[in-house]
Amino acid sequence: MHDDAKQKPVPWYRVPMVWLVLGGPLSVVVASIATAVIAWKHIDPVIATPQGEVVRPGDNMAPKLSPKDAMAPAMQGRNHAATPAEQ
């Protein structure tokens, strides 16, 4: 008889390969539950629009500005970087 036949069988939870095989899917399940909890707690608000008004992408995202006003922050930053600081 071989020595292998006399050894007790190892329980399944003591085999490292079992944890390697189960670890991946279990981590995915935990991550998906965490993602679902975050999504449920931070639900985006519903934007109400008057009846008959057409909603287009980008509406209600920013105040209505003229193109000249939209460039103001970039121009101010450029001008600030180009001129010496006043003291």
- Note the pLDDT of residue 5: 64
Q: What range does the domain containing 27 cover?
A: 16-42
pLDDT tens, residue by residue, 36-82? 999 999 888 776 666 776 766 665 555 555 656 556 666 666 666 56
Structure tokens at 50: 């008057």
- Note the pLDDT of residue 13: 92
- Note the pLDDT of residue 43: 86
* pTM as predicted: 0.45
Q: Round to whole Å and give the CA distance between 72 and 33.
A: 44
Question: Do 18 and 12 touch, CB atoms closer than 8 A?
Answer: yes
Separation of CA 32 from chain center: 12
71 lies in some domain: no
- Note the pLDDT of residue 80: 60
Structural domains in the chain (count): 1
